[in-house]
Amino acid sequence: MEDAEGKPRVIIREYSPSTDRAGTEAVDRECEVGQPGGMSLHADLLGDPVARIRHSPAYLMLVAETSAQPGRIVGLIRGTVKSVATGKSCPGAPAFASVGYILGLRVSPSHRRMGVALRLVGHLERWFALMGAEYAYMATDKSNEASVQLFTGRCGYSKFRTPSLLVHPVHAHRLRAPRRAAVLPLDARDAEQLYRRRFGHVELFPADIGAVLANRLSLGTFLAVVDEGFKWRGVEHFLASPPASWAVASLWDCGGVFRLEMRGASRLRRAAAAASRALDRAAKWMRVPSVPDFFRPFAGWFAYGLGGEGDDAALAAKALYVSFVNRARGRAAAVAVEVAALDPLRRRLPHWRSLSCAEDLWCMKRLGGGESGADGWDWAKSAPGQSIFVDPREV
């Protein structure tokens, strides 16, 4: 089949696991993150192209197929829909909205600049609207000019938020934890109550937080307290009489969804990293900042739901993050967290700049013609708050 100009048509349809897996994996490989001729970051979805969206309440994966070679996949896109808090200030209960999230947009290099990405986004947005979504948003590296231009220039999205992705590698030695902070685990029910009643208004807080915490990939929720006399007496007592300073966060095992691998590293770089690990294992007391083996498939953990209160909340957040990195020894190669640009907790979070992204870019638009709500408020064009809730199901 050909279009009006005699060129092969591109058909957009739903992903079929029985016939499309190899084709979508091929497109993902063609679009690995990195510079030509340099290192690239490869993601292995463990044989399940839908893995990154499967844990969301509603999800869809679309593929673009060329009529010139029936069955050949030349593009793909993934999307989810859920209800989240908008962060809008209003009396009573937090304001919630249904949002669609776009991720994993890929187009084969042979079919770029042919409108394939635009059509994939358009088809997914129509599905969002059918599912009742009021907004759509996506995340990209701000240096990805093609992606930024597509969404802000052609699809009508506004630059929305610029959070930071902070990453710390896992070493053989343990990181030093702040002495004034104590870290304790919370059960899922207590964690849900704490999140809903203290952070239910935070931007992008998911209405189904209980399902997130109960997911098999969620490794638990932990509370850090900076208060010498503190004793846990249950969540109700905590909420009624909280300690002077505290922070809470949960852990997600991204390794259960995908494995990452850094490819294209030189032999010298690999050897230097291996030497650092050997020294770290042999002399943990030296606290060598060793480089994990990122050059073979590795698992990562993601800290989510980070929030806190009090003058020393940032110290409590540091205690949590350090405990996560130490807990990951032998189970993951790195621990990451994403925080809002204005979040006061970020200043004490340990991370490696070389592994982190100081300014990610999220873009958003209101669906349904771009009209504002009845009160004229448009979330996509609103000012940022101090915090955001990053859903681990969409990492």
57 shares a domain with 11 = yes
The tokens for 218 are 């969620």
Q: By the 8 A CB rule, do 394 and 173 touch?
A: no
CATH of the domain at 302: 3.40.630
Residue 394 counted as domain residue: no
For residue 154, what is the domain's CATH number?
3.40.630.30
Written as six digits, the tokens of 109 are 């290099």
Give yes or no for a contact between 53 and 79, defined as CB atoms under 8 angstroms apart: yes
* CB neighbour list of residue 186: distance below 8 Å, 6 or more residues apart: 194, 220, 221, 222, 223, 235, 248
Q: Select the more confidently predicted residue: 55 or 92.
A: 55
Q: Are residues 178 and 134 located together in one domain of the fold?
A: no
Other Cβ atoms closer than 10 A to 241: 8
Residue 217: closest CA among 169, 251, 261, 170: 251
Residues 89 and 175 in one domain: no
**pLDDT band for position 7 (cuts 50, 70, 90):** low
Query: Does the residue 329 lie in any domain?
Result: yes
Nearest residue to 219 (alpha-carbon basis) of 238, 258, 196, 191:
191
pLDDT tens string 57-74: 999 999 999 877 887 999
pLDDT at 375 over 90: no
Query: What average pLDDT does range 84-107 have in this prediction?
Result: 86
Q: pLDDT tens digits, residue range 218-253?
A: 999 999 999 988 999 999 999 999 999 999 999 999
Residues 75 and 180 in one domain: no
Q: Is residue 387 part of a domain?
A: no
Proportion of the chain above pLDDT 90, given as a percent: 83
Phi and psi angles of residue 19, each rounded to the nearest 5 degrees, phi first:
-125, -15
Q: Is residue 393 part of a domain?
A: no
- Return the number of other C-beta atoms located less than 10 Å from residue 353's C-beta: 9
- 169 and 152 belong to one structural domain: no
pLDDT given for residue 313 in this prediction:
97
The pLDDT tens digits of the residues spanning 132-169 come to 999 999 999 888 899 999 999 999 999 999 999 999 99
CA distance 21 to 26: 9
Count of domains in the chain? Answer: 2
Q: Residue 40 pLDDT > 90, yes or no?
A: no
Strand pairing report for 245-253 and 300-309: antiparallel
Q: From CA 283, how far away is CA 287, in angstroms rounded? A: 8
* Largest Cα span, the chain: 77
Does 153 lie in the same domain as 68? yes
pLDDT at 110 over 90: no
For residue 365, what are the domain limits? 1-161+359-382
The position carrying tokens 């010139």 is 68
pLDDT of residue 2: 46
Tell me, yes or no, whether 111 lies in a domain. yes
- Taking only the tens place, the pLDDT of each residue in 184-210 is 999 999 999 999 999 999 999 999 999
Same domain, 149 and 60: yes
Give the C-alpha separation, 257 to 387, whole Å. 26
Q: Place 125 in a pLDDT band, splitting at 50, 70 and 90.
A: very high
Kindly state whether residues 156 and 251 are assigned to the same domain: no
Q: Are 218 and 123 part of one and the same domain? A: no
Mean per-residue pLDDT, 377-386: 91
Together in a domain, 52 and 21: yes
Looking at the chain, how many residues does it have? 395
List beta partners, residue 44.
259
**Quick one: pLDDT at residue 242?**
95
Q: Is residue 391 part of a domain?
A: no
Answer whether residue 22 is part of any domain.
Answer: yes
3 state SS of 3: coil
Same domain membership, residue 205 and residue 129 = no
Instruction: Please indicate, yes or no, if residue 102 is contained in any of the structural domains.
Output: yes
- Residue burial 338-349, b: 16+ Cβ < 10 Å; e: rest: bbbeebebbebb
Averaged over 262-270, what is the pLDDT?
Answer: 94
Q: Which two tokens stand for residue 381?
A: 């064009």
- Tell me the pLDDT band of 31, cut-offs 50, 70 and 90: confident
* pLDDT over 60 (residue 4): no
Return the SS3 of 302. Answer: strand
Q: What is the mean pLDDT of the chain?
A: 92
Strand ranges (E), the chain = 10-14, 33-34, 40-44, 58-66, 73-85, 96-107, 135-141, 158-161, 164-169, 182-186, 218-226, 245-253, 259-263, 300-309, 334-339, 360-366
pLDDT tens digits along 289-319 = 999 999 999 999 999 999 999 999 999 999 9
Distances (CA, A) of 18 to 15, 71, 281, 371, 384: 9, 12, 45, 40, 43
Q: Provide, rounded to the nearest whole percent, the portion of the chain with pLDDT above 70.
A: 93
Residue 370 has pLDDT above 80, yes or no: no
Conformational region of residue 29, where left means phi above 0, alpha means psi within -120 to 50, and beta covers everything else = alpha
Judge if 142 and 12 occupy the same domain. Answer: yes
